[in-house]
C-alpha cells in the first residue's frame, strides 16, 4: 500500500495531492417491536484523491478499485485544472509518519452475529415486557472497525485504526391519546464487552417512557434552569459549537460579525473546549482526515471567545492555526470542518449548592431535539423536573428551552464540579449521515430562560 501511494503521489502533476483510503468492517442488528429489521455485515473499501493546482480549485476523484490509484490522481488533477476560482492556500503543518493501532479486548469482529442478535433481543425484550403502556420499541446494535490510510505530496503518511461499538434503545408509551418516548445509548471506542451488562439502563428507559405519561406539561414562563450534563453538552455542541466551525464563519458575513475573537460571551466561570486528542472518546483521532494532529482548542476561555475550529484551508484563509478538525463521514466525501469532542469545562459548584437557593425553577435533562438559526436556538429536553425551594420535585414534560445564544451564555451563573461525558453523540453536517462526536459538561445553571409549555 505504501509503495503504491508513494508512486501515485510522485507521478501527480498537481501542486498538492492527497489520498485517503478506508477499509471498513461493520455489522448491525436492529429490532423494531418484536420484529428483527436488520442483521447484516458489511465490508467496504475505497478511497478519495484531492488535488490542487495554482489558480484552480479542488479536484476530487473517488474510487473502489485500489489497483489504479494513479489514474484517479490524474482525474483529480484534470478536475482541479478545470476550476477557476479564488486562490486556495493551505496552512503549513508538520509532516507526520505514523501508524496508530487500537488493541481491543474482546474484539467485536470475532463475535458471531448470532451473539450480537441475542444481545439486542435481550435488551429489546426488557422494553417490550416492562409495562403494557409501552406500544413500540427500537433496539439497535452496531459496530465498525475502520483502517484509514492517509498520504499527501508533502510527505505525510499515517495509518490509523478507528473502532467503535454501539447499542441504543428507545421505548414509546401511550395512554389516553398521550404518547411519550424515552431513549438511551452507549457508544465506545472499545470491544464487545462495552455494550454488555446494560440491563438497568434499558429498564430506566422503559420506566421513564411510562412515567412521562403521568407527568403534567410544564407551565410556560421564564425560569431559572439547571441543565444536566447531557443537555448542557448538547447545547454547547449545537448552539455554540457549529458557530465555531471556521468554514461557516468564513462564508457568512453575519457570523463574522458575531464571532469576533476577544468578544466576551459569558462570565469568567465559562470555558468551552473542543479536543480530538482525548483517548477513547467517540470524536477522537490522533490525526484528522488531512493528516493534521488532533489537539485541544479552547473556544471560550474565562468567558471570552479565544478560538475556532479549522481545516488547513480555512486556517490559511483566516490567518489562524490549523486545529485538526477536518473530518469526513467516509471516503466518498472530502473533509470539512467538524467538531470532535466538545465540552463545557468543569467549574466548582456542587449540584446541591446549584439548586439550594432556587425557589421555583426547572431541572432539564437530556435533549430530545432542537434547532438553531445563527444565534437563536430552541431545544426540547427529554424529560424534566420542577425545582421548588431548593428541592427536585415532580416530573414535567414538553419542556422547550428557547432564546438567544449570546444572552443565554451570559446568563450562565453557575458551572458544576460534576463533569460527565455522554456515551452517545452524532453530528450531521450534510455528508450523507452522522459523524461520531462526544459531548460533555457538568451541570450548569442559567437564569431567566424562556420555557415553552402550557
Residue pair 127/203 in contact (Cβ under 8 Å)? The answer is: no
Residue pair 133/213 in contact (Cβ under 8 Å)? The answer is: yes
> Quick one: CA dihedral 412, 415, 416, 419, positive or negative?
positive
User: What pLDDT is stored for residue 454 in this prediction?
Assistant: 66
Q: Which of 193, 214, 235 is the last residue of a domain?
A: 214
Q: Which of 214, 246, 279 is the last residue of a domain?
A: 214
Residue 209 shares a structural domain with residue 303 = no
Question: Which residue, among 19, 22, 158, has the nearest Cα to 98 in the 3D structure?
Answer: 158
Residue 95 shares a structural domain with residue 116 = yes
Residue 288 shares a structural domain with residue 410 = yes
Question: Which residue, among 227, 180, 169, has the nearest Cα to 411 in the 3D structure?
Answer: 227
Burial class of residue 280, CB neighbours in 10 A (0-12, 13-18, 19+): exposed
- Count how many domains the chain has: 2
User: What pLDDT is stored for residue 55 in this prediction?
Assistant: 82
User: What pLDDT is stored for residue 85 in this prediction?
Assistant: 75
Set of cell numbers at residue 281 = 472518546
User: What pLDDT is stored for residue 254 in this prediction?
Assistant: 92
User: Model pTM?
Assistant: 0.95
Read off the CATH number of the domain in which 161 is found. Answer: 3.30.2290.10
Residue 173 shares a structural domain with residue 255 = no
Residue 178 shares a structural domain with residue 229 = no
Mean pLDDT by 10 residues, the chain (454 residues): 91 97 98 97 97 91 93 96 87 97 95 98 98 98 98 98 97 96 96 97 98 96 97 93 94 92 97 96 96 98 98 97 96 95 97 98 91 87 97 96 94 98 82 86 97 76
Residue 137 shares a structural domain with residue 52 = yes
Residue 367 shares a structural domain with residue 278 = yes
Question: Which residue, among 398, 396, 363, has the nearest Cα to 379 in the 3D structure?
Answer: 398
Residue 177 shares a structural domain with residue 227 = no
d(CA 30, CA 194): 18
User: What pLDDT is stored for residue 429 in this prediction?
Assistant: 80
Residue 310 shares a structural domain with residue 172 = no
User: What pLDDT is stored for residue 432 in this prediction?
Assistant: 67
Residue 194 shares a structural domain with residue 133 = yes
Residue 285 shares a structural domain with residue 140 = no
Host domain of residue 180 = 2-214
Q: Which of 161, 184, 214 is the last residue of a domain?
A: 214
Residue 210 shares a structural domain with residue 226 = no
User: What pLDDT is stored for residue 257 in this prediction?
Assistant: 92
Amino acid at each position: 500500500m505504501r509503495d503504491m501511494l508513494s508512486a501515485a503521489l510522485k507521478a501527480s502533476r498537481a501542486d498538492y495531492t492527497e489520498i485517503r483510503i478506508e477499509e471498513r468492517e461493520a455489522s448491525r442488528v436492529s429490532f423494531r417491536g418484536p420484529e428483527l429489521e436488520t442483521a447484516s455485515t458489511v465490508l467496504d473499501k475505497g478511497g478519495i484523491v484531492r488535488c490542487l493546482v495554482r489558480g484552480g480549485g479542488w479536484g476530487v476523484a473517488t474510487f473502489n478499485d485500489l489497483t489504479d490509484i494513479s489514474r484517479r490522481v490524474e482525474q483529480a488533477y484534470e478536475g482541479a485544472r478545470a476550476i477557476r476560482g479564488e486562490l486556495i492556500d493551505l496552512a503549513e503543518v508538520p509532516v507526520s509518519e505514523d501508524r496508530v493501532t487500537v488493541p481491543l479486548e474482546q474484539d467485536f469482529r470475532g463475535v458471531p452475529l448470532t451473539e450480537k442478535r441475542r444481545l439486542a433481543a435481550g435488551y429489546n425484550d426488557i422494553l417490550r415486557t416492562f409495562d403494557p403502556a409501552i406500544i413500540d420499541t427500537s433496539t439497535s446494535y452496531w459496530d465498525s472497525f475502520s483502517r484509514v490510510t492517509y498520504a499527501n505530496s508533502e510527505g505525510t503518511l499515517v495509518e490509523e485504526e478507528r473502532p467503535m461499538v454501539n447499542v441504543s434503545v428507545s421505548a414509546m408509551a401511550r395512554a389516553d391519546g398521550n404518547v411519550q418516548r424515552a431513549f438511551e445509548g452507549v457508544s465506545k471506542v472499545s470491544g464487545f464487552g462495552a455494550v454488555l451488562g446494560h440491563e438497568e439502563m434499558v429498564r430506566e428507559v422503559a420506566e421513564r417512557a411510562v412515567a412521562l405519561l403521568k407527568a403534567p406539561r410544564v407551565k410556560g414562563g421564564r425560569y431559572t434552569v439547571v441543565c444536566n450534563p447531557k443537555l448542557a453538552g448538547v447545547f454547547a455542541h449545537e448552539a455554540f459549537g457549529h458557530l465555531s466551525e471556521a468554514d461557516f464563519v468564513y462564508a457568512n458575513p453575519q457570523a463574522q460579525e458575531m464571532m469576533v475573537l476577544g468578544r466576551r460571551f459569558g462570565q469568567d466561570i465559562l470555558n468551552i473546549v473542543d479536543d480530538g486528542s482525548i483517548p477513547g472518546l467517540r470524536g477522537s483521532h490522533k490525526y484528522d482526515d488531512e493528516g493534521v494532529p488532533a489537539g485541544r482548542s479552547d473556544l471560550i476561555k474565562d468567558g471570552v471567545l479565544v478560538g475556532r475550529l479549522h481545516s488547513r484551508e480555512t486556517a490559511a484563509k483566516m490567518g489562524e492555526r490549523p486545529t485538526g478538525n477536518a473530518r469526513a463521514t467516509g471516503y466518498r466525501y472530502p473533509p470539512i470542518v467538524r467538531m470532535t469532542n466538545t465540552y463545557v469545562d468543569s467549574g466548582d459548584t456542587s449540584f446541591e449548592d446549584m439548586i439550594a437557593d432556587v425557589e421555583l425553577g426547572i431541572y432539564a435533562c437530556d435533549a430530545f431535539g432542537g434547532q438553531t438559526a445563527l444565534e437563536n436556538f430552541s431545544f426540547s429536553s427529554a424529560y424534566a423536573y420542577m425545582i421548588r425551594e431548593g428541592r427536585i420535585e415532580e416530573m414535567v414534560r414538553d419542556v422547550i428551552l428557547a432564546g438567544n445564544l449570546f444572552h443565554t451564555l451570559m446568563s450562565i451563573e453557575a458551572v458544576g464540579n460534576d463533569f460527565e461525558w455522554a456515551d452517545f453523540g452524532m453530528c450531521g453536517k450534510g455528508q450523507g449521515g452522522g459523524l461520531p462526536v462526544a459531548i460533555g459538561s457538568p451541570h450548569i445553571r442559567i437564569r431567566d430562560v424562556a420555557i415553552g409549555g402550557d
